[in-house]
Amino acid sequence: MTRMYEHHDAVLHAVREGVLIVDEDRRLVLVNDEARRLLALPPDAQGRPVCDIAMDPEIARLLESGRPASDEVHAIGHQLVAVNQRAMGPPPDGSGPCGTVATLRDTTELRALSGRADIAQGRLRLVYDAGMRIGTTLDVVRTSQELADFAVPRFADFVTVDLPDPVLSGDEPAETGTDMRRIAFTGVRHDTPLYPSGRLIHFVSTTPQAVAYARGKTVLEADLAAFSGWQEQEPARARRLVGYGIHSMIAAPLRARGVTMGVATFWRSQRPEPFDDDDVSLAEELVARAAVNIDNARRYTREHSMAVALQRSLLPRVLPEQTALEVAYHYLPAQAGLGGVGGDWFDVIPLPGARVALVVGDVVGHGLHAAATMGRLRTAVHNFATLDLPPDELLWHMDELVSRIDQDEDTDGSVTALTGATCLYAIYDPTSRVCTVARAGHLEPVIVHPDGEVEFPGVPAGPPLGLGGLPFESSELHLSEGSSLVLYTDGLVEDRHRDIDEGLDLLRRTLAGAGGSPEETCRAVLDALLPERPRDDVALVVARTRVLDGNRAVTWDVPADPSEVARVRAEAARTLEEWGLAEEAFTTELILSELVTNAIRHAGEPITVRLIRDRSLICEVSDGSSTAPHLRRATTTDEGGRGLFLVSQFAERWGTRYTGSGKVIWTEQPLPW
């Protein structure tokens, strides 16, 4: 095999790379002059087994193994040698065995470049780590502080971040950076003369911070002791900074999507070498990543504020006046998480007959779309409530509405289609102490009885709104006076640290020991169940029942006999006298006379009359017919048809509601107090 390569010796010895050929017995059959030099081989190396030759152990193991190698760098003394090795086939005539060929290249001259590559690699790692540690939340202040905390002491000895006040509230940044607030500050020491966090700083136009903000370019002050103009901000403080040991500064604008939102300043004191152009590039990399996250946080803050403002404008600001329930409520928008505020809502709606409707609901999704949809649904509930629909029927209409919203938005394609909502609707009657409840995919209410017993009443769980085609079922709950009805959304009981069953059990235990007024009960529940930063909206309503007893409500059964009208008028007059409302007797007798007469003539039994003294005087006449009377103007030749017209003139309000056995016609008259 040696003879085969003898005619190539001149060529092999002339090349600038070391060449070694090893046969299958691991003998060194050929070595050129460059290989001898690089490996410091003895003169008699050629022809000897590799294991017997004095050379670098790592190279010897590589040659003996015969394994392929590609640009493996080995340190041989003060040299860096790159080694390549590959298998070599048999000679062309097939007369010899196989072996390997190895080439060696001196890379010592690349040592300096290699060191710089290590530095570059370290900086790439720093930038990568910054991307992992900066921007963990959608909070402007927190993200800015993460930038400062990350860069100290890895890159700088002190880092400050200054932003205009509008950025903190989610608005567009100011046109100039002359007035900025220091919102983040981290350093290796705490006794620095630098401005502290929270300080509103007026930067003069020649300072690096103002220049960086105005031009959107990084400013390097490599030698602060030269006082090249940066000290004009505050000369005395500048001298103290230099005396403190701070000798170099980089002011980098926080710029994302073409908008400058502030300035991050890197200060060096403990490291003797000043910042250089390479440091400027690294600072710009760090700040660029932080700026995107700060801009995301700013935009989130703006949308979150808009959604909260919209949602609060759509929720009741004050509760309406009513006497059936003592109500306390709390609404808290989400404060954490990517979604922002959701579509939770609640309502208290007075109904005819001194009754009150309680509503609580939750729109699927978060943000402005969820808040706007919540407003649409809350308005719809109010509109359906004016029809005095029973809870299950009202939820059916709401289900139809949500399905139409889904279809409209899905067809338009500009907004993600709503996937549904949950709702609970309850009507409490203080005269009968009956609360009728239906729910659509919502968590069931909790009853706290006057003796402190807590009960989940087992209201049937209907499907969420928007599924369509499925029925809802109402339950009648008989509540003692002083019972509390607790309504809530899932943000109260469900959290990433506990499942919903644990939350419901905690709610039960908290309510059992709460006591006190509805407001005190709300506070106890929130203190026990609410996380520090809720990831979902929370709506909580606590309603304590009151009862209109015989001193404020009376009922008479009326046989279907026209002669009974006079008795009803007499009973009504006597009752109003007892209530101190004798002046209202004439009007009330006239109203009852017309309503009872119509019930006897045109409807069926049972006929019942009820008088209620609440915030107004309420007359109710119920019958067994589901046919509603209509107000019309009678002509001069008509013998009838004027009854409801007269009623509408004497009553402040009137209307009809349907029951399972018929209907109720009601009127309201204002009271003199």
Structure tokens at 168: 């903190």
List Cβ<8 Å contacts ≥24 apart for 668-672. 668/352, 668/616, 668/617, 668/618, 669/584, 669/587, 669/588, 669/591, 669/616, 669/617, 669/618, 669/619, 670/616, 670/617, 671/581, 671/584, 671/613, 671/615, 671/616, 671/617, 672/581, 672/583, 672/584
Distance CA 410, CA 242 (A): 64
Query: What confidence score (pLDDT) does residue 78 get?
Result: 73
Query: What confidence score (pLDDT) does residue 671 get?
Result: 87
pTM, entire model = 0.64
> What is the torsion angle, in degrees rounded to the nearest 10, for the CA atoms of residue 42, residue 44, residue 46 and residue 48?
-100
CB 537 within 8 A of CB 334: yes
| Residue whose C-alpha is closest to residue 283's, from 123, 410, 170 | 123
Is the domain spanning 553-670 CATH 3.30.360.10? The answer is no
CB 135 within 8 A of CB 293: yes
Query: What confidence score (pLDDT) does residue 341 get?
Result: 63
Residue boundaries of the structural domains of the chain: 3-106, 126-304, 315-545, 553-670
One-character DSSP codes across 334-387: --SSSS-SEEEEEEEEE-STT-EEEEEEEEEEESHHHHHHHHHHHHHHHHHHHT
Query: What confidence score (pLDDT) does residue 630 get?
Result: 62
Stretches in the chain below the pLDDT threshold 50: 1-7, 112-114, 337-339, 415, 634-640
What would be the CATH architecture of the domain defined by 315-545?
A: 4-Layer Sandwich (3.60)
Query: What confidence score (pLDDT) does residue 475 get?
Result: 95
Sign for the pseudo-dihedral over CA of 267, 270, 273, 278 = negative
Strands (E), 227-353: 248-256, 259-268, 325-332, 342-350
Distance CA 212, CA 56 (A): 55
The letter for the amino acid at 21 is I
- Three-point CA angle 430, 433, 437, nearest 5°: 100
Query: What confidence score (pLDDT) does residue 262 get?
Result: 95
Homologous superfamily (CATH) of 126-304 is GAF domain (3.30.450.40)
What would be the CATH architecture of the domain defined by 3-106?
A: 2-Layer Sandwich (3.30)
Contacts of 304 (CB under 8 A, 6+ apart): 170, 333, 340, 341
DSSP 434: E
Q: Is 458 left (phi over 0), alpha (psi -120 to 50) or beta?
A: left
Query: What confidence score (pLDDT) does residue 240 get?
Result: 94
Query: What confidence score (pLDDT) does residue 332 get?
Result: 83
Query: What confidence score (pLDDT) does residue 482 get?
Result: 94
Contacts of 156 (CB under 8 A, 6+ apart): 250, 266, 267, 268
Fold agreement (3-106, 315-545)? no
The letter for the amino acid at 475 is S
Distance CA 560, CA 52 (A): 128
Contacts of 189 (CB under 8 A, 6+ apart): none
CB 248 within 8 A of CB 221: yes
